[in-house]
Amino acid sequence: MLVILKLADMIVNYLYDRNIIEDDIEIYRHGIALYISESISFSSIIVISLFTRHTLYTIGYILLFSKMRETFGGFHCKSFLTCNLTYITIYILFELLLIIMVPQYIQIISSIVCTAIIWKLAPVDHANKLLSETMKKRFSKEAKGLIVITLVCFYLISFINKNMSLTIWYCILINAILLIKGKLVRNYEEKINGENCETIL
């Protein structure tokens, strides 16, 4: 969104004029814009949760979803607007599922399938934030540990709180989908870059 970028520019210029920052202006600009964008997304879904009275589940959703995204990687939108709209849309679907309540057996079967997908694919990096082989191995171990712990928690909590277990299941499901999408995009980008290199040569 242009508003976010303009606001980020204002903040960066303010910090630069007061010698709080001296270089790497673009990095600060992007970081601040990202922070503002994420704040808008989080604030939006918190407000929605206050109306639906699902604030506790929403907080659990935000924490687990964010941790998974940080560890697994996956698909990223190309603009702040599409990122915000996608994030809020995914959350609204979560709210609907809390009302509908997906049958337990579907949650269990799909969570096992999604766990296998995450185990196989994670982490998936982004063209603008490539991971070294060392970082990939580290994140792969973290991803495997996180998804196993999450799956165990999902199974145990399903006996105590159905809504919370659905929250965990949904985070697993969406992150698996974003991983698949991200992997397809990365493979396409690598293919295009490879073809461009062959053309130049």
Residue from 139, 131, 125, 151 nearest 64 by CA = 151
In a domain, 147, yes or no: yes
Low pLDDT (below 70) residues in the chain = 1, 193-201
Is 71 domain-assigned? yes
Q: Is residue 24 part of a domain?
A: no
pLDDT at res. 45: 95
pLDDT of residue 195: 54
Q: Is residue 175 part of a domain?
A: yes
Residue 185 counted as domain residue: yes
What is the reported pTM? 0.87
Residue 4 maps to a domain: no
Return the ∠ at Cα 53 (arms to 112 and 39), rounded to 5°: 80
Read off the pLDDT of residues 149-168 as tens digits, 9 standing for 90 and up. Answer: 999 999 999 999 999 999 99
User: Residue 19 has what DSSP assignment?
Assistant: T
Residue 30 falls inside a structural domain: no
Segment 117-135, tens digit of pLDDT: 999 999 998 777 788 889 9
pLDDT of residue 78: 83
Inside any domain, residue 181: yes
Domains of the chain: total: 1
The domain in which residue 133 lies consists of 63-77+102-200
Given this model, what pLDDT does residue 198 score?
47
